[in-house]
Amino acid sequence: MLIIYYCCVDIAMKWKQKVDLFDCRNRFWYIEAATCSKDIVILMDNSGSMTGYRNTIAKLTVSNILDTLNNNDFVNVFSYSDSADEVVPCFKGMLVQVRVRTARVLVNVAEPQLMKGTHSAE
């Protein structure tokens, strides 16, 4: 809390001022104006090596990347074991515009995709 004292010859008075925590860099309108649109392809490894903590980190990373995108961005998520396939079949061959619903669908479908396959390294 910031406290400022105002003083004059006769009176001294305490002046309380709240700390301003507003940061426009976290606001949607600022992010839209300050960044360019992005085209992002996320490739998730769902091979047998992605167990335990690695799997958890991969899920959180994909979720956090999708949370940072806005309406000007385009994305698709692929899972990789023996071959790379879209996690949402109807998004095949294209990048989809990020909307709240699209991001939710990608996160909900991507999580079970991890740990589905096994990959033999060649």
The per-residue pLDDT for range 15-73, each reduced to its tens digit, is 667 777 777 777 777 877 888 888 999 888 887 787 788 888 888 888 888 887 888 88
pLDDT for the residue 121: 46
Tell me the three state secondary structure of residue 98: coil
Mean pLDDT of the chain: 76
- Non-local (6+) Cβ contacts of 77 within 8 A are 41, 42, 44, 62, 86, 87, 88, 106, 109, 110
> Residue 11's CB: how many other CB atoms inside 10 A?
7
Q: Which residues lie closer than 8 Å to 30 by C-beta, 6 or more apart?
A: 24
Determine the 3-state secondary structure of 89 from DSSP.
helix
Pure H helices in the chain: 28-34, 53-67, 100-113
- pLDDT of 5 > 80? The answer is no
3-state DSSP assignment of residue 16:
strand
- DSSP secondary structure code for residue 59 in this structure: H
Q: For 78-96, what is each residue's pLDDT tens digit?
A: 888 888 888 888 888 899 8
Q: How confident is the model at residue 122 (pLDDT cuts 50, 70, 90)?
A: very low
The arrangement of secondary structure in 23-113, i.e. its CATH architecture, is: 3-Layer(aba) Sandwich (3.40)
- Domain extents in the chain: 23-113
